[in-house]
Chain A
Amino acid sequence: MNPRYFRFFAALLALLSTACSHTELRGSGDLGVVIEREKGSVQIVNTSQPSPLSRISDLGDLSHASVVFSRDQRYAYIFGRDGGLSKIDLLQDKLEKRIVQAGNSIGGAISQDGKLIAVSNYTPGGVKIFSAETLEQIADIPAVYGEDGRLSKVVGLADASDHRFVFTLFDADEIWIADVKNPKQPAIQKFKNIGKQPYDALLTPDGRYYLAGLFGESGLAKLDMWQPEAGVQRVLPDYGKHDEKLPVYKMPHLQGWTSSGDWLFVPAVGQHEVLVIDKHNWQLIKRIPVVGQPVFVTARPDGRQVWVNFAFPDNQQVQVVDVKDLSVIKTLQPGKAVLHMEFTPRGEAVWLAVRDEDRVMVYDTETLTETARLPADKPSGIFFSSRANQLGL
């Protein structure tokens, strides 16, 4: 092309694109990401409309993917099953950077100051730490355990205050705290024999307690992040000991666990119950019977309701617990395979990922009725940018 024309077109193009970006000006606070697990894509959505904005593809195996947000809510970091870590620009609908950092990974967290991304891996078992800006690797923490130096799968990675990441070694029955004040040389504190087969963990929303759920025995392991030197204590050690354990077709997720006021709502493992624990004395105050093995037990942001979804073969249902009476007030039938639930920042609505129906459904949490649906390809997870401001994620 004649260079003069070229310059003209280039200028025109630049003008057009600025014009477009003006018409599309968007605030980051009502954005979210819907994971389409089979396609390996994500949709960027507007949570106020509600409406889809764009789709970003070629993100690898997104089964079991999870997402954290930069503190300016501009970027979403997506952790894929295949070890992929993708940084997406929510304002410009583009993939900023993608690396494959391990063979098989499970989740991640972003530091309090927004500078570090930590990823927990199954193979090779361990945690890796990256720059949130460039995705360059800063540190590698192999989860070595036992005499012969095997590597454990790592689960339940959370960001804790004061430059710490905390995580759990599934095969080793250990909890580790990594102090990353000097991120290149994390200082590790290990807690051993915390209980058998800890399958996931979370930090309570106030950031104080780290709790790991146990699959191999009853109860939970609790670590007080205000005084880790006090060691790991067991919560509900006798829970369900004499009941027949029902098969678990999907491991519960703890990140959805929630506290509402003084209470903590926890999925039982091998019992079709939600457990209510008093956070002051760590005693069980109620077992709420539900229709299946709970997977996510998530409180509305104001704590008034708790929404529960279920493992196969009961995953076509969702139950709503009224926290005022600690009882189920509604059983919804959104469709086949409800995999995940996400509340809008103040909780007037909740979004459900209904995998086998290829749709996301939005419910009004006051009337408990459906208000919108959005097409999505085998959606498995929904993550809103308000997570940027939550401790532990």
Chain B
Amino acid sequence: MLLCGSVSADEPAPAKQQELRNLLKHDCGACHGLQLKGGLGPPLLPEALADKSDVLLLDTIQNGRPGTAMPPWKSFLTVDETNWLIRLLRQP
């Protein structure tokens, strides 16, 4: 799974994109809300993330935040996939 990163452009294949959207909605949504408006975890809407850098968000998603309920996703998401998700989150 981790090898998918070898696809040159950092845009995941369409099927993968669908899978990632599904993951975002349901599995991230379990804590951040189906519409990402927040739940046990904070809202992930564009305005909530506006003042957070990509680097910070990448680190948060890949490695989680120890001591909080935010788990690491690096066994399931490559860096490219995570960056794609971050771009998706920033889209209004």
- Chain A bound to chain B: yes
* Cα separation A153 to B43 with both chains bound (whole Å): 13
Looking at chain A's contact residues, the main secondary structure is loop
A104 interface hit (Cβ, 8 Å): yes
| B29 / chain A contacts, CB cutoff of 8 Å | 63
Q: A63-B33, A337-B26, A355-B26 are in contact. Are A81 and B39 (CB under 8 A)?
A: yes
A342 interface hit (Cβ, 8 Å): no
B-contact bits for A75-109, CB 8 A (1 contact / 0 none): 00000011000000000000000000001101000
Q: Are B40 and A153 in contact (CB under 8 A)?
A: yes
A-contact bits for B58-72, CB 8 A (1 contact / 0 none): 000000100101011
B5 interface hit (Cβ, 8 Å): no
Looking at chain B's contact residues, the main secondary structure is loop
Partner of A248 from B34, B35, B71 at Cβ < 8 Å: B71
Q: Are B67 and A104 in contact (CB under 8 A)?
A: no
From B35, which residue of chain A is reached at the shortest CB distance? A61
A190 interface hit (Cβ, 8 Å): no
* Cα separation A76 to B74 with both chains bound (whole Å): 41
Q: Can you list 20 residue pairs at the A/B interface with Cβ under 8 Å? A: A61-B33, A63-B33, A63-B35, A63-B39, A64-B34, A82-B37, A103-B37, A104-B37, A153-B40, A199-B40, A216-B67, A247-B72, A248-B69, A248-B71, A249-B30, A250-B30, A251-B69, A312-B27, A312-B30, A313-B76
Q: Are B38 and A247 in contact (CB under 8 A)?
A: no
Q: A250-B30, A312-B27 are in contact. Are A104 and B38 (CB under 8 A)?
A: yes
| A247 / chain B contacts, CB cutoff of 8 Å | 64, 71-72
B31 interface hit (Cβ, 8 Å): yes
* Cα separation A104 to B31 with both chains bound (whole Å): 12
- Residues of A211-256 whose CB lies within 8 A of B: 215-216, 247-251
B-contact bits for A245-276, CB 8 A (1 contact / 0 none): 00111110000000000000000000000000
Q: Are A199 and B69 in contact (CB under 8 A)?
A: yes
* Cα separation A215 to B31 with both chains bound (whole Å): 14
| A37 / chain B contacts, CB cutoff of 8 Å | 34
* Cα separation A82 to B29 with both chains bound (whole Å): 13
- Residues of A171-200 whose CB lies within 8 A of B: 197, 199
- Residues of A46-93 whose CB lies within 8 A of B: 61, 63-64, 81-82
* Cα separation A124 to B38 with both chains bound (whole Å): 12
> Shortest CB–CB separation between residue A240 and chain B, in angstroms?
16
- Residues of B36-50 whose CB lies within 8 A of A: 37-40
> Shortest CB–CB separation between residue A172 and chain B, in angstroms?
14
A123 interface hit (Cβ, 8 Å): yes
Residue among A199, A312, A313, A355 with most chain B CB within 10 A: A312
